Amino acid sequence: MPLRVHSMKDTLIRLYNYTCKRIFHHDSPLCLHTIRNELLRFEGGSVDLQIDNETGIAVMTLNNPRKMNAMTGKMMVDMSDCVHELEQWQEGKGLILRGEGGNLCTGGDLCFVKKALHFGDEMAIYQHDTLTRLLNLPLISVALIQGHALGGGAELCTACDYRVMSPGGRIGFVQIKMGLTTAWGAATRLTKLLGRRKALELLCSAKILLPSAALVSGLVDHVLPEGCENELLETQKWLLENFIAFDASLMRAIKSQVVHAEHAADVALALEKERKLFVQTWGGPAQLKALAANIKHKAPLKS
């Protein structure tokens, strides 16, 4: 793995974060607060939360449609704030993660990525924290995959309990084509979800899956019918009928105290290793070459 040369500022930030990690562990509020302020400098888009106390279903929307909801630093901070709000929501039963304008998310905003090449470890720490908290919420969460879910967009999907895909959806872990490993913890979660063989295939091939292949692989749980007029409403119905028809407090306890507790036991160490590997690839020659090539990740015409 090629070594990177760090600037003095870079080295000081790393030293500071290392100290934070040693004293407070990597998810210390102090460390996350410093990263949050740095991320807020990368503007554009928003992540918005709508909470419906009547149905018990919240909708979190990625809102940067001009860039197919690619995530800026500011959106990462917004998402963390939305998760914080959901952590306080005692009546909640379900959550749908969606994107505005026909796509879920095409990963990190490449303008942000190019400016944040000194900042990979910090971004990964922040995103690991947010997405771990998202997956841990005592709600049943569903990613609604309309249009593209690529790179970091596919990573977000693995931080939900389930994935529902629209007939026009496509999902791909294209990081390896971008000279990277996963930035936001998806390799660990995908391996838990699909097992070693399938996870390796998806992470190492950069294949983009259309709905039928995504369903067969087990990555997607349900494909919406062709011609469905309101895909968000249809996803809400699927969630209501299958998971949240009964007592909310029991459902929340089953997820957080039993199913999730079992899941969390061995995940933290794997996530830490995944993040360390990612940091070695970020800003390295393979990523720089991929960025210069302006790659377009095209899906196959059929599964």
Ligand X SMILES: CC[C@@H](C(=O)O)C(=O)SCCNC(=O)CCNC(=O)[C@H](O)C(C)(C)COP(=O)(O)OP(=O)(O)OC[C@H]1O[C@@H](n2cnc3c(N)ncnc32)[C@H](O)[C@@H]1OP(=O)(O)O
CB distance 49 to 60 below 8 Å: yes
Examine residue 180 and tell whether it contacts ligand X (CB under 6 A). Answer: yes
Task: Give me the residue whose beta carbon is nearest to ligand X.
Answer: 107
Least distance between ligand X and beta carbon 17 (Å): 18
Considering the rule CB under 6 A, would residue 25 count as an interface residue with ligand X?
no
Q: Which is nearer to ligand X, 245 or 293 (CB)?
A: 293
Binding piece for ligand X, criterion CB under 6 A, among 10-18, 53-61, 108-116, 131-139: 108-116
Can residue 67 be called a binding residue for ligand X (CB under 6 A)? yes
Per rule CB under 6 A, is residue 106 in the interface with ligand X? yes
Span interacting with ligand X, options 9-17, 39-47, 63-71, 91-99, rule CB under 6 A: 63-71
- Burial class of residue 292 (count of CB atoms within 10 Å of its CB; 0-12, 13-18, 19+): exposed
Map residue 303 onto helix, strand or coil. coil
- Which residues of the chain form beta strands (DSSP E)? 46-52, 57-63, 94-99, 140-145, 148-150, 162-165, 170-172, 208-209, 222-223
Choice between 109 and 244, CB closer to ligand X: 109
Determine if 297 is a binding residue for ligand X (CB under 6 A): yes
**Contact call for residue 135 and ligand X (CB under 6 A):** no
Tell the smallest beta-carbon distance from residue 127 to ligand X (Å). 8
Residue with structure tokens 């294209």? 174
What dihedral angle (degrees, nearest 10) is formed by the CA atoms of 29, 31, 37, 43? -100
Q: How far apart are CA 59 and CA 96, in angstroms?
A: 5
Q: How far is CA 286 from CA 4, 72, 280, 282, in A?
A: 12, 22, 11, 9
- Residue keyed to tokens 């899906």: 299
For the window 267-296, what string marks contact with ligand X as x by the rule CB under 6 A? -----------------------------x
Of the residues 13, 70, 97, 251, which one makes contact with ligand X according to CB under 6 A? 70
Q: Establish if 72 lies at the interface with ligand X (CB under 6 A).
A: no
Q: Answer yes or no whether residue 68 interacts with ligand X by CB under 6 A.
A: yes
Q: Closest CB to ligand X among 112 and 238? A: 112
User: Distance between CA 300 and CA 266 in Å, rounded?
Assistant: 36
Q: How far apart are CA 203 and CA 290, in angstroms?
A: 17
Residues found in the chain: 303
Contact with ligand X (CB under 6 A) among 175, 188, 191, 236: 175
Using CB under 6 A, which of 31, 113, 164, 220 touches ligand X? 113
Largest CA distance in the chain: 56
SS3 159: coil
CB of 214 to ligand X, least distance (A): 16
- Using CB under 6 A as the binding criterion, the count of chain residues that bind ligand X stands at 23
Told to check if 155 binds ligand X by CB under 6 A, we report: yes
Q: Is 252 in the site for ligand X (CB under 6 A)?
A: no
Query: Read out DSSP for 67-80?
Result: GTT-B-HHHHHHHH
Q: Are 162 and 195 in contact (CB under 8 A)?
A: no
Q: Can you read off the two tokens belonging to residue 94?
A: 């379900």
- Answer yes or no whether residue 108 interacts with ligand X by CB under 6 A: yes
- Give me the residue label for tokens 């879920």: 104
Answer for which of 45, 152, 283, 284 binds ligand X (CB under 6 A) is 152
Among 136, 182, 191, 236, which residue sits at the site for ligand X (rule: CB under 6 A)?
182
Binding site for ligand X (CB under 6 A): 67-68, 70, 106-111, 113, 148, 150-152, 155, 174-175, 178, 180, 182-183, 296-297
